[in-house]
Amino acid sequence: MKHEKIQNQLSAYLDNELVPEVRSMVEKHLIDCQECKKMLEDFQHNQQQISDLIHPVPSMKNAVLAMIHETESNTRKGLLSIIKKLAFRPFTVGATAFSTICLLIALFYVNPSPNPQYDELLDYYFGFQTEEISNNPLKSNVVVPLNNQTMETEETIEESDSLFNLYMSE
């Protein structure tokens, strides 16, 4: 095997990751090749240096558990507020709608609209028979016949006819 190929195997040789045949070839090469020998020694030295970079760690158990508890309680609070919102929303919406309707009905009865038809509609739907329609001309659409006026008109017509006849006869 060529020098370069052997050199590329040095790292795996150091980690004992070579098959026995290749391993023995590398070992044979290392006897004669000072460059590869030096490289392997440097690799070993650096490996030792990095493995020495181990630092005793102060326990972080309490800090981690505190973080976990905080996160859990935040999640619970978040869930609770969502549930509250979802649970109470129909009630609040319903209550608001009901009170608005009641307010509108009350307003209609305190200040009746100028058009009596709407009031009768309210009476029809909600059954509020607080007044007799017949007694309240504003709330009635029954037309009262104006007999006197008609008579007067007829008389007027009759008078005009008689006047016309008189004019013609003359």
Partner 1 sequence: MSVTTLTADMETYSDITQVEEFDSQQEREIILRCQDRDTVAMGTLVVQYQHWVYNIAYGLLGHHEDAEDVAQDVFLSVWQNINKFQFRSQFSTWLYKIVKNKCLNLIDQRKRRKTEPMEIDDTQPWVPLDKVTPEQEVLQSEQSQILHKALDRLKESYRTILILRELRELSYEEISEILNCTLGRVKSRLHEARKALRVELERIDW
Task: Quote the Cα angle for 126-129-130, to 5°.
Answer: 120
**Does residue 140 contact residue 133 with C-beta atoms inside 8 Å?**
yes
CB burial class (10 A; 0-12, 13-18, 19+) of residue 43? middle
Q: Least CB distance from residue 109 to partner 1, whole Å?
A: 60
Per-residue binding string, partner 1, 69-108, x by CB under 8 A, is x-x-------------------------------------
Residues with Cβ < 8 Å from 85, sequence gap 6 or more? none
**Residue 42 binds partner 1, judged by CB under 8 A:** yes
Diameter of the chain by CA atoms?
164
List 57, 143, 144, 166, residue binding partner 1 (CB under 8 A): 57
**Residue 63 binds partner 1, judged by CB under 8 A:** yes
**Residue 39 binds partner 1, judged by CB under 8 A:** yes
Write out the two tokens for 77: 């609070």
Q: Least CB distance from residue 63 to partner 1, whole Å?
A: 6
**Residue 56 binds partner 1, judged by CB under 8 A:** yes
Closer Cβ to partner 1, 42 or 158, answer by number = 42
**Residue 60 binds partner 1, judged by CB under 8 A:** yes
